[in-house]
Structure 1
């Protein structure tokens, strides 16, 4: 269930736009235009932190591997346990994809 405090027509249109992206190249082009490099790095770092938490890495391992602060790791951990399950929608597939690459 989505959190109604975040809902808006503009946000729904943004999400619809994201769903129109068909390739990685499309994603790079769109997000390069709409986000700063810092924003993209922060978002991708949080996803990496979530992935590492999901595979049971420790805070210190994650901090060393990603450069994320313990505050960021804690925030992501809280979202994993008490959030809207958004990470779970993609994490299992990302982890499986990563494991296949390692073989």
Structure 2
């Protein structure tokens, strides 16, 4: 899927290059703590968990209860998960593959 031209610019390219340069979970914590507010970071983590739970077939009520996300957030993530740029799908698939790889060790 092509990159959304409304998002693509030199500054955003540089941000993503910076993110791709991070090598450990600790480096990610350090970088994102400097770049985001705690609320922004928690919101991103929450949305990823909502996407994971939607993909696993959980109901809205289960997701709201477990994550604290609003139904509006669950709806937005669901729309992105099924009709978006496939970013959630790609990341969730890679996380699943990594979990399976780690379990088999």
- Rounded to whole Å, the distance in 2 between the matches of 1:29 and 1:48 is 21
Q: Which residue of 1 aligns with 2:19?
A: 18
Query: Normalising by the residue count of structure 2, what TM-score does the alignment of the two structures yield?
Result: 0.90
Gap regions ≥5 residues in structure 1 = none
Distance in structure 1 (CA, Å) of the matches to 2:25 and 2:65: 28
In the TM superposition, what is the alpha-carbon distance from 1:93 to its structure 2 partner?
A: 2.8
- Detail structure 1 runs of 4+ shifted over 2 Å in the superposition: 93-96
Q: Which protein, 1 or 2, shows the higher relative CO under an 8 Å CA cutoff with sep ≥ 6?
A: 1
Paired with 2:37 and 2:64, the residues of 1 have a C-alpha distance of 23
Match of 1:53 in 2: 54
Q: How does the TM-score come out when normalised to structure 1? A: 0.92
Q: How many residues align?
A: 100
- The Cα RMSD (Å) is 1.4
What do the CA deviations read for 1:67-96 (whole angstroms, capped 9, x no partner)?
Answer: 000000000000011100001111023245
| Structure 2 residue runs without a partner (length 5+) | none
Name 2:80's counterpart in structure 1: 79
